[in-house]
A and B are shown apart, each in its own frame.
Chain A
Amino acid sequence: MAVNADAIQAQRIDVIIGAAVLLAVALLLPALQTQAWWLIIPCLICLILRWRMLAVLLLFAAMTYADTWLAGLYFLTLTLLLLMRMSSQPDADPSALVKQAAQQILLALPILVLIAVLIIAAGARWQDRSSPDRASTGVGETMTPGSVSELINNTEIALRVTFDDSTPAPAPGALYWRGIVFEDFDGRSWSRSDRLDFAPILAPDTDGVHYEVAQEPSRQSWLYGLHQAYTSREGTYRDARGILVTAEPVRQRIRYPVVSYKPEPDLNALAPALRQTNLALPGNSNPRTRQWAQDLRQQYPDDQLLTEAVMRHFNDEAFYYTFTPPLMSEQGIDDFLFNRREGFCEHYAGALTFVLRAAGIPSRVVAGYQGGDYNRFSNHWTVYQYNAHAWVEAWHPGQGWVHLDPTTRIAPDRINIGIDAWLAVSQEDLAPAARLRLQLAGIPGFSTAREAFDAGQYYWNFGLFDADGNLRTQDLNQWLENNGLASLPVWLMVGMLLAVVVRVLLTGERKPQKRSPTVKVYLAWDAILRKQGYGRRPAETVTAHLWRVALVVPQQAEACHDLADQLTYDLYHDDPADINRIKARIRDINRAMRKHVPRNH
């Protein structure tokens, strides 16, 4: 009776647990859509089949894709199941297994806190997955003196761009890949305005330059394009400043089509708020520059003439273009314009913007990449991180935002021929990797090989991954969608999870020990004997058991004793006993039992 009650209790617990898991799964459904189902489903299958190691590896692989808290919860459930599966007592009561696994997770939490504290203390940073992070690769969220020039040693690829055959590609000097616009200046660094003004996409009706950009993961949420760029990519918006912003940071290699139109004169007046933003300067910083700007203003009332005068100033005076400038003092722009006169593109762009703003011309800094290497094999442009660049846009009434690049006046080679050409003559202290790159580029045939390798990579990426950087499974997805099975993977994941729960909750059998055939024969016979009440008792030796059997069937006492001897010999020796003899003995004993022992014992 007590056993029955226990069994009912256990069944009730099973039902409760099952229902709870079902509820949790139902809650998790929306979050699962984006999860790596191609890893999770095999992982669940492995859990059912008890392939623990494979399940562990698949679970770990899938974990790297978890980036929402709901997904984290789902993985926690999976971990619980895995722990139940890995338990060293698979025969234990299901509720005991659940309890044990939950206990382990709870006990692990303090250690987790400790690990997390250590990781944070070691300097780990993370980002809210919905907002971009400042310390990501490539052009950053802010621009301080040195932030662009430090990319000169970075040989990673930033973009690969393929121009449409129908439209001629612009000249290398005109390849300004706009990324981000900096409007806020705090005296030292430029940062982007927090507010984004999403303008409705109204692409002009004229012919534009069509091209496709393949962007490496930057973990930032802006895309790159030439002037007046529009993209039809999903989840991407165009800001009023002309920058392309994605809803999700770029975590994979994505591709997007872009159309750039010819800049047309903007006859409207600048919106007052925007005008104010683009004229703002931190109070009483760089007084000499402000004074100089006032002087220029008095000299040139016209905005264009004033701008041209400043640009000419960079050319006429002894300014130097270098990516290892001396450190600037507090009044960085005064120091740069009147004392040091050495800097990289971000110094010139920052100084020009400051001067123009001080003179009352709305202006802003634009950061992105400039130039790129043309690949003859695959007809695409490869833009590296060392192509990072910063330039200026100023508002001229009647013209709109005008593109200004002070670098063209100081180091025109960098723009017109390419940064490598400028680096080759500049004779500056490069990092070993960058120096090696330049030296290798001098070897005949190396650049061809590099191009060929790059082209191979380009085609590889193109062939294997779709526009969102996922493995090309869209054919499968398309087929699923066409057959009304779009959410099949999710339901599979859910169904499998339930199957695992059921399978784990049902007590499993322990992996059988390696046994000799003789012992197997004995064990099978023992199972039959147990039903009749003569089975081997726990902690009873085979010999003692068989002697007990001999008491039941004295007619075959000799057979029992012989069987005991044979089995004992088999257990403790390497060479197996004669199995036929053992089987014959068992047959004899069985026959005697059938004949002499009443059935209902």
Chain B
Amino acid sequence: MDTGISQRAARLKQVWQTQVRARFDKRQSRWLARRVPPAASVRLSHKIIFILPTFQGTVFALGALVVLVIALAERNLVAMLLAGLMLSLFLLSLVLCYRKLSGLRLSAHEPVSRAPRQRCFAGDTARFTVDLQAAGKRRTHSDLWLGFGSDALQVISLPPGGQVSVVLDCPASARGLLSAPRLMLHTVYPAGLWRAWSRPDLAMQCLVYPRPLVCALPVPNHPYTTTAAGRQRAAQQGGVDDFVGLRAYQTGDPMRRIAWRSLARGQGLKTKQFVQEAEPPLILNWETFAGRDPERVLSCLCYQVLQLSRRRACIGLKLPDTNIKPGQGEQHKHELLQVLALWP
């Protein structure tokens, strides 16, 4: 009996969420897209600030009205003034609440482009930076809540006339170009009687690389090496990388290069150094994984790119319709990953 009811309730809830709620959200987002079109920088004005009394505010105002009516009926001047003061506080709250948002300028930290500088791997969190600029030299914007969607909001305070940068997290689930969802900026200042909010879209984007998937690395294929010098070196060396020693850690050194053992021994933070070896260029080929799920293939290729570039290998990439010439270095790695991320 009980389970039957709870099952039915769960089903109803599901129907509500999938059909009614989802349809409503869709309409709302369509409306918002018309009303607040995406722009890299937005100055909040009455057109895109929405304000409504909260539940508390409604009760407060109705209560004050009832007291006012009773006071008027009883011809009680003191109660009349007190009720009037409560109503005035309610109305004043509207203005104060609106002013916390009005004039505030929000802008994306970096300009929109096909290859945004923000990058992350699928399954990781994308981080977006939003700059907020106060409306005037003497305007304070405190007690603002900023975030994506309605949950996981951060409290923000701007000093008078100041500027602040806020880092917002957003889960990146699939590779490609991730557009940040609409921002939610709201405040219930000063007494929670009104809630003013705005949903600006700063058209922020993040490039999401495929999630690395562990797979076998291709064996260096000597006959394919192109340069004579490379061939010579390849003949001489036995391993992939030669460890030559440690040096002091510098900011920017890759995490995996850190010599954890020496750190554990209490010798300070050290970076492992390897010989800068030239290697025969490796061409990572789509055809190697022929017949497998393309997404998995891209993930495997991503893993290979990461692993091989860590070994300073010279790598090229061959996808069905793209060909990247072999190269080395951090920038080349990102170029390859970008191709993998944006592959149709």
- The residues of A with any CB-CB pair to B shorter than 8 Å are 52-53, 56-57, 60, 63-69, 71-72, 75-76, 79, 83, 86-89, 100, 104-105, 107-109, 111-112, 114-116, 119, 124-127, 129, 133, 136, 219, 251, 539, 541, 543, 547, 551, 554-555, 557, 568, 571-573, 596
Complex contacts, B78 vs chain A, CB 8 Å: 66-69, 71-72
Q: Is B59 an interface residue (CB 8 A)?
A: yes
Q: Is B124 an interface residue (CB 8 A)?
A: yes
A218 CB → nearest B CB, Å: 12
- The residues of B with any CB-CB pair to A shorter than 8 Å are 56, 59-60, 63-64, 66-67, 70-72, 74-89, 91-93, 96, 124-125, 127, 142-143, 152, 154, 166-167, 169, 171, 187-193, 255, 258, 260-261, 263-264, 269
Complex contacts, A60 vs chain B, CB 8 Å: 63-64, 66-67, 83, 86
B93 CB → nearest A CB, Å: 8
Enumerate 6 A-B pairs (CB-CB under 8 Å) in ascending A order.
A57-B63, A66-B76, A68-B78, A111-B87, A127-B77, A541-B169
Complex contacts, A125 vs chain B, CB 8 Å: 75
Complex contacts, B80 vs chain A, CB 8 Å: 116, 119, 124, 126
Asked if A64 and B71 make an inter-chain contact with CB atoms under 8 angstroms apart, the answer reads yes
Question: Which of B79, B166, B264 interacts with A67 by CB under 8 Å?
Answer: B79
Asked if B84 and A554 make an inter-chain contact with CB atoms under 8 angstroms apart, the answer reads no
Question: Which of A69, A79, A572 interacts with B86 by CB under 8 Å?
Answer: A79
Asked if B88 and A112 make an inter-chain contact with CB atoms under 8 angstroms apart, the answer reads yes
Q: Most A CB atoms within 10 A — which of B79, B124, B192?
A: B79
B279 CB → nearest A CB, Å: 28
Chain A residue, CB-CB nearest to B71: A64
Contacts known (A60-B63, A66-B76); A115 close to B88, Cβ less than 8 A? yes
Question: Which of A56, A57, A111, A251 interacts with B74 by CB under 8 Å?
Answer: A251
Asked if B56 and A100 make an inter-chain contact with CB atoms under 8 angstroms apart, the answer reads no
A69 to B143, CA, bound (A): 36
A104 to B124, CA, bound (A): 45
Asked if A105 and B59 make an inter-chain contact with CB atoms under 8 angstroms apart, the answer reads no
Contacts known (A88-B187, A107-B92); A219 close to B63, Cβ less than 8 A? no
Chain A residue, CB-CB nearest to B166: A539
Asked if A554 and B82 make an inter-chain contact with CB atoms under 8 angstroms apart, the answer reads no
Complex contacts, A89 vs chain B, CB 8 Å: 142-143, 189
Complex contacts, A251 vs chain B, CB 8 Å: 74
Chain B residue, CB-CB nearest to A110: B88
Question: Which of B56, B64, B66 interacts with A52 by CB under 8 Å?
Answer: B56
Asked if A112 and B67 make an inter-chain contact with CB atoms under 8 angstroms apart, the answer reads no
Contacts known (A89-B142, A572-B171); A112 close to B258, Cβ less than 8 A? no
Asked if B81 and A116 make an inter-chain contact with CB atoms under 8 angstroms apart, the answer reads yes
Complex contacts, A53 vs chain B, CB 8 Å: 56, 59
A72 CB → nearest B CB, Å: 4
A77 CB → nearest B CB, Å: 12
Asked if A64 and B190 make an inter-chain contact with CB atoms under 8 angstroms apart, the answer reads no
B272 CB → nearest A CB, Å: 13
Question: Which of A109, A116, A133, A557 interacts with B75 by CB under 8 Å?
Answer: A133
Asked if A104 and B191 make an inter-chain contact with CB atoms under 8 angstroms apart, the answer reads yes
A111 to B90, CA, bound (A): 10
Asked if B260 and A88 make an inter-chain contact with CB atoms under 8 angstroms apart, the answer reads no
B88 CB → nearest A CB, Å: 4
B157 CB → nearest A CB, Å: 9
Contacts known (A87-B191, A104-B190, A111-B92); A63 close to B67, Cβ less than 8 A? yes
Complex contacts, A66 vs chain B, CB 8 Å: 76, 78-79, 82
A173 CB → nearest B CB, Å: 36
Asked if A88 and B191 make an inter-chain contact with CB atoms under 8 angstroms apart, the answer reads yes
Complex contacts, A76 vs chain B, CB 8 Å: 82, 85
Question: Which of A56, A65, A557 interacts with B260 by CB under 8 Å?
Answer: A557
Question: Which of A57, A75, A87, A557 interacts with B82 by CB under 8 Å?
Answer: A75
Asked if A88 and B75 make an inter-chain contact with CB atoms under 8 angstroms apart, the answer reads no
Complex contacts, B91 vs chain A, CB 8 Å: 108, 111
Complex contacts, B86 vs chain A, CB 8 Å: 60, 63, 79
Complex contacts, A52 vs chain B, CB 8 Å: 56, 192
Question: Which of B84, B152, B189 interacts with A115 by CB under 8 Å?
Answer: B84
Complex contacts, A555 vs chain B, CB 8 Å: 260, 264
Asked if B84 and A551 make an inter-chain contact with CB atoms under 8 angstroms apart, the answer reads no
A541 to B129, CA, bound (A): 13
Q: Most B CB atoms within 10 A — which of A63, A115, A116, A133?
A: A63
19 new A-B contacts, CB < 8 A, other than A56-B59, A568-B125, are A56-B63, A64-B67, A66-B82, A67-B76, A68-B78, A72-B78, A79-B82, A88-B191, A89-B143, A108-B92, A115-B87, A119-B84, A124-B80, A126-B75, A539-B167, A541-B167, A555-B264, A571-B125, A572-B171
Asked if B125 and A543 make an inter-chain contact with CB atoms under 8 angstroms apart, the answer reads yes
A125 to B77, CA, bound (A): 9
Asked if A87 and B67 make an inter-chain contact with CB atoms under 8 angstroms apart, the answer reads no
Asked if A541 and B76 make an inter-chain contact with CB atoms under 8 angstroms apart, the answer reads no
Q: Most A CB atoms within 10 A — which of B66, B77, B193?
A: B77
A379 to B87, CA, bound (A): 47
Chain B residue, CB-CB nearest to A52: B56
Complex contacts, B127 vs chain A, CB 8 Å: 541
Complex contacts, A127 vs chain B, CB 8 Å: 75, 77
A79 to B60, CA, bound (A): 12
Complex contacts, A64 vs chain B, CB 8 Å: 67, 70-71, 74, 76, 79
A66 to B74, CA, bound (A): 11
Chain A residue, CB-CB nearest to B66: A60
Complex contacts, B70 vs chain A, CB 8 Å: 64
A99 to B191, CA, bound (A): 13
Asked if B89 and A87 make an inter-chain contact with CB atoms under 8 angstroms apart, the answer reads no
Asked if A63 and B79 make an inter-chain contact with CB atoms under 8 angstroms apart, the answer reads yes
A109 to B84, CA, bound (A): 9
Asked if A87 and B190 make an inter-chain contact with CB atoms under 8 angstroms apart, the answer reads yes
A310 to B66, CA, bound (A): 53
Contacts known (A52-B56, A53-B59, A66-B82); A568 close to B191, Cβ less than 8 A? no
**Nearest 8 Cβ contacts at the A-B interface:** A554-B260, A572-B171, A111-B88, A108-B88, A86-B191, A126-B77, A60-B63, A126-B75
Complex contacts, B79 vs chain A, CB 8 Å: 63-67
Asked if A112 and B85 make an inter-chain contact with CB atoms under 8 angstroms apart, the answer reads yes
Complex contacts, B67 vs chain A, CB 8 Å: 60, 63-64
Asked if A112 and B63 make an inter-chain contact with CB atoms under 8 angstroms apart, the answer reads no
A572 CB → nearest B CB, Å: 4
Complex contacts, B190 vs chain A, CB 8 Å: 83, 87-88, 100, 104
A339 to B143, CA, bound (A): 79
A415 to B81, CA, bound (A): 46
Complex contacts, B81 vs chain A, CB 8 Å: 72, 112, 116
B59 CB → nearest A CB, Å: 6
Complex contacts, A543 vs chain B, CB 8 Å: 124-125
A126 to B258, CA, bound (A): 82
Asked if A56 and B60 make an inter-chain contact with CB atoms under 8 angstroms apart, the answer reads yes
Asked if A119 and B64 make an inter-chain contact with CB atoms under 8 angstroms apart, the answer reads no
B179 CB → nearest A CB, Å: 17
A441 to B125, CA, bound (A): 80
Complex contacts, A68 vs chain B, CB 8 Å: 78
Chain A residue, CB-CB nearest to B263: A554
Chain A residue, CB-CB nearest to B195: A88
Complex contacts, A109 vs chain B, CB 8 Å: 85, 88
B148 CB → nearest A CB, Å: 11
A106 to B282, CA, bound (A): 75
Contacts known (A60-B86, A112-B81); A83 close to B269, Cβ less than 8 A? no
Complex contacts, A86 vs chain B, CB 8 Å: 56, 191-193
B7 CB → nearest A CB, Å: 19
Q: Most B CB atoms within 10 A — which of A60, A126, A133?
A: A60
A568 to B211, CA, bound (A): 15
Asked if A568 and B192 make an inter-chain contact with CB atoms under 8 angstroms apart, the answer reads no
Question: Which of A65, A108, A116 interacts with B89 by CB under 8 Å?
Answer: A108
A386 to B60, CA, bound (A): 40
